Amino acid sequence: MNNKIGAKKRIEPYMYLVPCLLIFGVFLFYPFFKTIYLSLYKTNKLGEAKLFVGLGNYTDLLQSSSFWNSMMVTAIFVLIVVVGSMLLGLIAALLCNKAFPGIRFFSTAYALPMAIASSSAAMVFQIMLDPSVGIVNKILHLDINWINDPKYALICVAVLTAWLNSGINFLYFSAGLGNIDESIYERASVDGANSVQKFFSLTLPGLSPILFYTLVVNIIQAFQSFGQVKILTEGGPGESTNLIVYSIYRDAFFNYRFGSAAAQSVILFAIIMVLTLVMFKIEKRGVKY
């Protein structure tokens, strides 16, 4: 009897996890393994696996100039978005770190991008960049078709995405700044440190855990950007904004090449996973030393 009661007590905690595991299984694990499965097949227009090709979809991608272009475009896009969004969030957080009249209004304004849907922001941005009636050309006294010019299209999408991501970064950095002891700044002032020295010697080291977390999150978000590309450029002009996520979407739902799209999804997952593991490894070494 005691053995049965003991076994029940050992099993009972795991039973509470069953609903959670079921949800993860249906909405996360099953789609993940289904994607890997489809990446090994040629499919019909309904997405049904028909012909096993093994790594054929992967080798075709590696030999495709369009795929390598999308990888290069994505790398440039991620770099601009991550650097831009983190800088905007950090600057806004530093500006709102001190008490002054109207700080609540400015704090709300800086955090607002996180509450705006990417598709809605893209539609407003599209009007602003319009070559004939757009406010950007009128203010700068230029005549540039920003979205339809291959030289500027990717930068425009990246700037919009950086602004959208800056809102949540502002909240992260504001929380990090609030946890830094103000007394260390007072002691540094007594020692004759100026604002620049305080920032690099005190503020940045104090924000290092938040900076690392924000960097990881921003890289993942940047790789997954889709809505703004769909609304603004649809991967064009040419393939100048054909990000890997949009390439997956186009291959699956326009070209009905679900196997190729699945293979690109697996490659994207592998890239994000490797980058995340590398960053965690670097962060641990930084802590160690």
Here the CATH number for the domain that contains residue 221 is 1.10.3720.10
Q: Give the residues across from 162 on adjacent strands.
A: none
Domain that holds residue 104: 57-288
Asked if residue 230 and residue 117 are part of one domain, the reply reads: yes
Q: Which of 56-60, 154-158, 187-191 has the lowest mean pLDDT?
A: 187-191
Q: What is the pLDDT of residue 22?
A: 87
- Given this model, what pLDDT does residue 289 score? 39
Lowest-pLDDT choice from 139-143, 189-193, 217-221: 189-193
Give how far Cα 41 sits from Cα of 146, 230, 262, Å.
40, 27, 9
Residue 4 has pLDDT above 70, yes or no: no
Based on the fold, state whether residues 21 and 110 are members of the same structural domain. no
- What number of CA atoms fall less than 13 Å from residue 208's CA on the CB side? 12
Same domain, 135 and 276: yes
Tell me: pLDDT of 206 over 70. Answer: yes
Q: pLDDT at position 283, please?
A: 77
Please check the confidence at residue 9 and state whether its pLDDT lies above 80.
Answer: no
The answer to whether position 48 is within a domain reads: no
Q: How confident is the model at residue 13 (pLDDT cuts 50, 70, 90)?
A: confident
Rounded to two decimals, the pTM is: 0.89
Strands (E), the chain: 41-43, 49-52
Task: Specify whether 21 is located in the same domain as 68.
Answer: no
Residue of 190 and 55 predicted with greater confidence? 55
28 and 166: one domain? Answer: no
pLDDT for residue 5? 65
34 plus 174 within the same structural domain: no
Give the C-alpha separation, 51 to 147, whole Å: 40
What pLDDT is attached to residue 2? Answer: 56
pLDDT at 104: 79
Number of structural domains found in the chain: 2
In a domain, 128, yes or no: yes
Least Cα distance to 70 among 233, 247, 225 occurs for: 247
Q: What is the mean pLDDT of residues 108-121?
A: 85
Mean pLDDT of the chain: 87
- Assign 196 to helix, strand or coil: helix
Q: What's the one-letter identity of residue 60?
A: D
Q: Provide the terminal-to-terminal Cα distance of the chain, rounded to the nearest Å.
A: 54
Q: Is the pLDDT of residue 286 over 70?
A: no
Residue 67 is predicted with a pLDDT of 93
Domain contains 46? no
121 lies in a domain?
yes
Is pLDDT above 50 for 151? Answer: yes
**pLDDT tens, position by position, 211-230:** 989 999 999 999 999 989 99
Does 178 or 72 have the greater pLDDT score? Answer: 72
Q: Give the pLDDT confidence score for residue 219 in this predicted structure.
A: 93
